[in-house]
Amino acid sequence: MAKKKKEQVKYNPSYSNVKRTKKVFRCLIGKTNIVISIVYVVMALLMLVAAVFGAIFDTKDFLEDKSTLPTFCCTSAFMAFMLFTLNSCIPNDPATASKARGNLDGCATITETMMHLPIRKIDTYKLSFRSFMIASTFVFFSSVFPNVMIIIDDRFEVVKGTLGIWGTTAAVFILVSYLLSFYVIRGLSEKARGIILSAALIIYYIVWIGLMLDFADKFIDIDMFGFLSGYVGIALSLICVIAIVVIQKAVVEKRAEKTAWYQN
Amino acid sequence: MKDLALEVKSLSKEFQDFKLDNVSFELEKGMVMGLVGENGAGKTTIIKLILNAIEKSGGEINIFGMDNTKEEIACKEKIGYVADEDYLIVTSNIKNYAKAFAHIYKNWDQELFEKYAKMWKLPPKKKFSTYSKGMKTKAMLALTLAHHPELLILDEPTAGLDPVARIEVLDILRDIVADGDKSVLFSTHITGDLDKIADSVTVLIGGKATESMPIDMIEDKYAVISGSLTALTPTNTSRCVGIRRGTQNFEALVERRELSHFENVSVRTPNIENLLTFSIWGHREDIVELGGENNG
């Protein structure tokens, strides 16, 4: 029997600009990035579910093994970082864009193709912001969940310091990533931007390893950071999310609406 | 009133080391304009400004009467763009691109796309990284033409192509413009590419549009004169647009109305290349040594 011919893609006037941009983006990047993104999301979800179940149903083990909490948090951050880079289509300057053309397997900066199509720059920003927020949710959940546990279960008091350091690092990391990736901080060269982003990621991992291997105990009094957990930790995460959303809506999207593709 | 496809008015753009200075030109519907100038004259800058890739410092760009920044989507619906360097993602393929273009262009014509892809032997599932430069240019042309653009913007589409691919691409372009239903802005520094295609030409020198006129008017307005250096005097030298001097002879571009100031010179009709090269030499106020007597 002859194979049924696939229905031809057609322009759909009912799509919003963002949805249409997303469709174009998905077609252009091919299936590899989509598959990798799905794998990351599934892995991150599994990690979260395993950590949540471990923390609730096997609390003793969860708290005794010092590496569990940092691993749970940091893996989520890694997933988040990869998800964002795989699904970002923020316009860069021409030099970066031309380099990024062949760099799709690692990062989906496809500005040069998008720039001459009937697509608005602001829609690429909106699309990338969605991806950033999905990714950030993993990171924030990884710090909010243990903070909630600290509030409702006294046994979690022992990880207050670790969580205080962790939550603050995560919030700063997300904020720095946002400010740099979405060009809120202007006037930096692409090289400087890349160096700061890489440094933020390296610091993030150093904190993770330090907390996991008792490294930090030798240099700092972890318990001192306990006040940054619990209600304060949740508030810190919420303030960070709210700040990012407000900056995005009030500054970044307004600016993206008015500026040319390569102008930040 | 003129029916304009593209109107560029007093366009300026300032960079640290380059300035596009008050450039104006008009492209009528159905016409082909050559945008010529040496490398770095500002051709690609103008195209980037038309596409709203970079922000203008001043001036106005209208595409079919619409402001290119305020009505960006509507303008880009009507524009087909083929770049000097391909914009194709090397890990993707033409099939993915066709699907993306079908989502974004109201007038996407899959049959026409498939016709071009078949005619130019473009393998649909092969990654662009396996395509030759000529194939990539043809791929961009196939994708561009299949959404029926009313204004084609070609940014040095033949640059870097081998001679065979260049001739093939030029043949394709000649076929496309033959119908006369598309307006074309053809940026190039290879003026030979414009022969038999262009209706008008805009010459860019150092970020300024020194001339913008119909091709027919070049021969009406200008003449190339040549003769012995003794025919040049301080007075008539200043009347030349540009001069190319040899050890004994010279060649110069002058406005026809100035011909009476030159004696004992032979006169011939200029082409686009003459207009461009002599304008550049005039701008540089340079003396270019002739290789020999035969300096055509």
pLDDT in tens, B79-94: 999 987 767 877 788 9
State the average pLDDT over residues B207-233.
Answer: 92
Q: What is the CATH number of the domain that holds B172?
A: 3.40.50.300
**Residue B211 belongs to a domain:** no
**Residue B100 belongs to a domain:** yes
Assign A90 to helix, strand or coil: coil
Joined together, the tokens standing for residue B219 give: 């021969």
Joined together, the tokens standing for residue B197 give: 């295609």
Among A9-13, B21-25, B103-107, B194-198, the minimum mean pLDDT is found in: B194-198
Alpha-carbon distance B238 to A152, whole Å? 91
**Residue B131 belongs to a domain:** yes
Amino acid symbol at B281? W
- For chain B, list residues whose CB is within 8 angstroms of any CB belonging to chain A: 48, 51-55, 69, 72-74, 76-77, 79, 81, 83, 85, 87-93, 96-97, 99-106, 108, 110, 129
Residue B278: domain span: 217-284
**Residue B156 belongs to a domain:** yes
Q: What is the DSSP letter of A119?
A: -
State the average pLDDT over residues B105-123.
Answer: 93
At residue B215, φ and ψ (nearest 5 deg) are: -55, -40
Total domains in chain B come to 2
| Distance, C-alpha A31 to centroid of its chain | 21
Point out the domain boundary residue: B206, B230, B257.
Answer: B206
- Contact in structure between A122 and A30 (CB atoms under 8 Å): no
**Residue A113 belongs to a domain:** yes
> Quick one: pLDDT at residue B144?
93
Can you give the C-alpha Rg of chain A in angstroms? 21
Cβ contact A118–B105 (<8 Å)? yes
Q: Work out the percent of chain B whose per-residue pLDDT is above 70.
A: 95
At residue A47, φ and ψ (nearest 5 deg) are: -60, -45
**Counting Cβ atoms within 10 Å, is residue B189 exposed (0-12), middle (13-18) or buried (19+)?**
middle
- Contact in structure between B64 and B93 (CB atoms under 8 Å): no
Short-list B250, B185, B186, B261, CA closest to B224: B250
Cβ contact A27–B97 (<8 Å)? yes
**Residue A167 belongs to a domain:** yes
> Quick one: pLDDT at residue B69?
93
Cβ contact A113–B110 (<8 Å)? no
What does the CA dihedral A72, A75, A79, A84 come to, rounded to 10 degrees? 100
pLDDT in tens, chain A (264 residues): 455 556 678 889 999 999 999 898 888 877 777 788 888 888 878 877 888 888 888 888 877 777 777 777 777 777 777 777 777 777 765 555 444 444 444 455 666 778 889 999 899 899 889 988 888 888 888 888 889 988 998 888 888 888 888 888 888 888 988 998 888 888 887 788 888 888 888 888 888 778 777 666 676 677 788 899 999 999 999 999 999 999 999 999 999 998 888 877
**Residue B290 belongs to a domain:** no
> Quick one: pLDDT at residue A4?
54
Looking at the fold, whether B142 and B279 belong to one and the same domain comes out as no
Looking at the fold, whether B88 and B231 belong to one and the same domain comes out as no
Looking at the fold, whether B202 and B227 belong to one and the same domain comes out as no
> Quick one: pLDDT at residue A95?
52
What's the pLDDT tens digit per position in B258-285? 999 999 999 999 999 999 999 888 887 6
Alpha-carbon distance B199 to B5, whole Å? 14
Confidence class for position B292, pLDDT limits 50, 70, 90: very low
Total domains in chain A come to 1
Looking at the fold, whether B175 and B240 belong to one and the same domain comes out as no
**Residue B294 belongs to a domain:** no
Cβ contact A94–B53 (<8 Å)? yes
CA distance A163 to chain B (A): 42
Looking at the fold, whether B152 and B274 belong to one and the same domain comes out as no
Point out the domain boundary residue: B206, B230, B255.
Answer: B206
Q: What is the CATH number of the domain that holds B278?
A: 3.30.70
Cβ contact B110–A101 (<8 Å)? no
- Contact in structure between B189 and B39 (CB atoms under 8 Å): yes
Looking at the fold, whether B72 and B140 belong to one and the same domain comes out as yes
CA distance B81 to chain A (A): 7
Looking at the fold, whether B191 and B233 belong to one and the same domain comes out as no
Neighbours of A107 (CB within 10 A): 17
Confidence class for position B11, pLDDT limits 50, 70, 90: very high
Alpha-carbon distance A264 to A252, whole Å? 9
Closest CA in chain B for residue A261:
B53
- Residues 6+ positions from A47 with CB-CB distance below 8 Å: A72, A75, A76, A79
Amino acid symbol at A38? I
State the average pLDDT over residues B164-189.
Answer: 84
SS3 for chain B, per residue? CCCEEEEEEEEEEECCCCEEEEEEEEEECCCEEEEEECCCCCHHHHHHHHCCCCCCCEEEEEECCEECCCCHHHHHHHEEEECCCCCCCCCCEHHHHHHHHHHHCCCCCHHHHHHHHHHCCCCCCCEHHHCCHHHHHHHHHHHHHCCCCCEEEEECCCCCCCHHHHHHHHHHHHHHHHCCCCEEEEEECCHHHHCCCCCEEEEEECCEEEEEEEHHHHHHHEEEEEEEHHHCCHHHHCCEEEEEECCCEEEEEEEHHHHHHCCCEEEECCCHHHHHHHHHHHHHCCCCCCCCCCCC
Instruction: Decide which of A48 and B75 is more confident.
Output: B75
Looking at the fold, whether B161 and B85 belong to one and the same domain comes out as yes
**What is the dihedral sign for C-alpha B51, B92, A90, A201?**
negative
Looking at the fold, whether B258 and B113 belong to one and the same domain comes out as no
Joined together, the tokens standing for residue B192 give: 């030979």
State the average pLDDT over residues B232-245.
Answer: 89
Point out the domain boundary residue: B151, B179, B206.
Answer: B206
Looking at the fold, whether B140 and B257 belong to one and the same domain comes out as no
**Residue B293 belongs to a domain:** no
pTM, full prediction: 0.84
**Counting Cβ atoms within 10 Å, is residue A112 exposed (0-12), middle (13-18) or buried (19+)?**
buried
Q: Which residues of B touch A99 (CB under 8 A)?
A: none
Looking at the fold, whether B195 and B238 belong to one and the same domain comes out as no
> Quick one: pLDDT at residue B296?
37
Looking at the fold, whether B185 and B228 belong to one and the same domain comes out as no
A101 near B CB under 8 A: yes
State the average pLDDT over residues B281-294.
Answer: 57
> Quick one: pLDDT at residue A105?
47
CA distance B254 to chain A (A): 40
Cβ contact A11–B106 (<8 Å)? yes
Alpha-carbon distance A11 to B99, whole Å? 10
**Residue B292 belongs to a domain:** no
Residue A157: domain span: 17-258
Q: Is the ipTM of this structure higher than 0.85?
A: no
Alpha-carbon distance A20 to A59, whole Å? 46
